[in-house]
Chains A and B, each alone.
Chain A
Amino acid sequence: MRGDREAFGVLVVHTSDRLYAIATRILRDTELAEDALQGALLTAWRQLPTLRDPDRFDAWVRRLLVHACYAEARRKRAWAANVRVLPVDGPAAPDTTVSVIDRDALDRAFRRLTIEQRATFVLHHHAGLSLVEIAETLGVPAGTARSRLHYATRALRAAVEADAAPVQSQGRMA
């Protein structure tokens, strides 16, 4: 058992950054993402003996993470009243190719998506997964993954295009 824990510790160290990056992008909240990461990894530890194919570990733990993100998002929605606003500039260097207007528009539009749509969008555009891989991760048919991605893309594109119009003046969502 000691060896199991040490081996799992290695897996945690190797996967936590990648998983955390997905969680922060889905949840747009670093604290919730941290909770989701911990929840997913602990679930992975508890259920590891049920994983029959070690080659599937990455996909399996990614799925646990996405479901942990769902749980965090819904818990926040149901049981928390306040919304934490993310720092506009995260630890990564600001990308000057994204204007402040675009950032605000995308932030607002993204928060209006369902958590499932967010996850699909992030898995595709950030993690680089194909629709088939996304469907497997989320446990939905590929057609469902496609429709979620389509909806999310359409909504975000509309937000960027709408905010490109000079007449709008909107404050930050708080």
Chain B
Amino acid sequence: MTANDDFDRICRAWLDLMPDESPDRAVHAVLHAVETTPQMRRPWRRLPWRSTTMNRAILAIGTTAVVVAAVALYLGGSSSSPEVGTSPTPARSATPSGVSAPLPPELQSRWFGGHRDFVQLDKGSTLAFTSRGLVMNESNEWDSLRFLDSSAAAVGDGQLRLELTTNGNGCEAGDVGTYSWSLSPSGRTLTVTPDSDDCAARLSAVPGVWWLAGCPNELCLGELDTGTYQSQYFVPRLDPGATWEPDFGGLMYTVPEGWANSNDGPDSFELVPAAEMPPVSESDRLRNIGVFRQPSAMTQDGPCSDEVEPGVGRTVDDLVAWLQTVSGLVTTEPTPITINGRSGQTLDISLDPSWTATCEGESERLLTYLNPGLAVGEDQRVRLILLDLGETDVVAIGVWTRDQSTFDDFISEAMQVVESFRFK
């Protein structure tokens, strides 16, 4: 028997120690839930709009990888533009002390940051710590574009030691750096400051403020601390059908306590009250703010077609005028609005009580009206804001509640966030 055989045998035997039978309660729970869970037949069945996510093939989710982005955002709750892309000045030249140990669990996550020198275009970056390692990546290339692979160890209170494991970026394997780090009380914001580093590329890349990729799929931030943030993937000016590349900071926004980022994709971006993040499922959400790139009129020739309505322009005025003619939509009088220098129009939308149609597979009345995927269902209400970004680009913002009775309360809360929006 070879050493390989022996190792394989040990591993299989070790794996076999785990249970093989699913608990009856788990199976029963699924069967019970299925009784009341509708199936998805059209993408817009759950929310008032379809949330188009990234092409996951592009996002090749990887091993320990992750990107870095060096942002020095400021998170203090100011609505002014944060400084992005700068690194903190080295605070001190500390000598690590103590015994090296695995990094603490609270660091062992994927963190989002801004642009770094080794990242192409205007993409952001991510930083991923394992218990004994660090990898940085472009924000959408978690496997194929790794940079600055380093072993990592905790060397003191709030300090870590990095040792490069491969040559590259002008550095050599074995280059050592030490950094200080701190977390916000929530554990969702990581600040790294440099002490010293033999590797100049790492010295410029690692320091900064990093946001925990707190969504279950690690493709958005999840719950947010009070502060100002930038989107990682959303591209407000992305034309339908155009090739997508992430654009860090496509949307900048400021939130008070109690908000979460639940989606950040090429076509759309979403913020929800933190109470509606997992384990609350998307289908159970009651309120959100959605942002959509380059909206266009959705044809009303057939039920829930996502074809563009011929002859309707894509300017704010064109879309607003058309919405007021759509049978089944109840719209308020459009009013001008300006958000951080971008002008547009806003109107509230709900479903005409006499509307009886729906989409295939839907059990409740529903009407789709704008691409990419905006729809409104019975008893729901949306405050739609169409903003002119210039150069013929338009963005749609929808503040939505599942229940019209909660709309006014949510609007006052949500509009504070919407009014902080800045589009690149």
With A112-B130, A112-B131, A114-B130 known as contacts, the answer to whether A144 contacts B62 (CB < 8 A) is yes
Which chain B residue shows the least CB distance to A5? B34
Instruction: Report yes or no: B27 in contact with A13, Cβ–Cβ below 8 A.
Output: yes
With A49-B41, A92-B20, A98-B17 known as contacts, the answer to whether A144 contacts B60 (CB < 8 A) is yes
Residue A47 interfacial (CB < 8 Å): yes
Instruction: Report yes or no: B39 in contact with A90, Cβ–Cβ below 8 A.
Output: no
Instruction: Report yes or no: B15 in contact with A42, Cβ–Cβ below 8 A.
Output: no
With A74-B218, A112-B131 known as contacts, the answer to whether A17 contacts B62 (CB < 8 A) is no
Instruction: Report yes or no: A140 in contact with B143, Cβ–Cβ below 8 A.
Output: yes
Scoring A46, A49, A151, A153 by chain B CB atoms within 10 A of each residue's CB, the highest score goes to A46
Residue B11 interfacial (CB < 8 Å): yes
Contact with B along A134-161 (1 / 0, CB 8 A): 0000111100100110010100110010
Instruction: Report yes or no: B217 in contact with A17, Cβ–Cβ below 8 A.
Output: no
A/B pair count, beta carbons within 8 Å: 166
Instruction: Report yes or no: B19 in contact with A139, Cβ–Cβ below 8 A.
Output: no
Which chain A residue shows the least CB distance to B57? A139
B residues less than 8 Å from A140 (CB atoms): 60-62, 143
Which chain A residue shows the least CB distance to B43? A50
Instruction: Report yes or no: A21 in contact with B20, Cβ–Cβ below 8 A.
Output: yes
**Number of chain A residues whose Cβ lies closer than 8 Å to a Cβ of chain B:** 66
**Assembly CA distance A16 to B38 (angstroms):** 21
**Number of chain B residues whose Cβ lies closer than 8 Å to a Cβ of chain A:** 56
B residues less than 8 Å from A92 (CB atoms): 16-20
Residues of A19-74 whose CB lies within 8 A of B: 19-21, 24-25, 28, 30, 34, 37-38, 41-42, 45-50, 67, 70-71, 74
A residues less than 8 Å from B11 (CB atoms): 106, 125, 156
A residues less than 8 Å from B102 (CB atoms): 112
**Assembly CA distance A125 to B34 (angstroms):** 32
Residue A94 interfacial (CB < 8 Å): yes
Instruction: Report yes or no: A17 in contact with B20, Cβ–Cβ below 8 A.
Output: yes
3 pairs of A and B residues whose beta carbons are closest in the complex: A20-B22, A71-B216, A95-B13
Instruction: Report yes or no: A12 in contact with B8, Cβ–Cβ below 8 A.
Output: no
A residues less than 8 Å from B8 (CB atoms): 125
**Assembly CA distance A126 to B14 (angstroms):** 10
Scoring A16, A28, A47, A88 by chain B CB atoms within 10 A of each residue's CB, the highest score goes to A16
Known interface pairs A47-B39, A140-B60; 13 further A-B residue pairs with C-beta atoms within 8 A, sorted by A's residue number: A5-B34, A9-B34, A20-B19, A20-B21, A21-B19, A34-B26, A46-B283, A89-B17, A90-B18, A98-B13, A112-B130, A116-B62, A139-B56
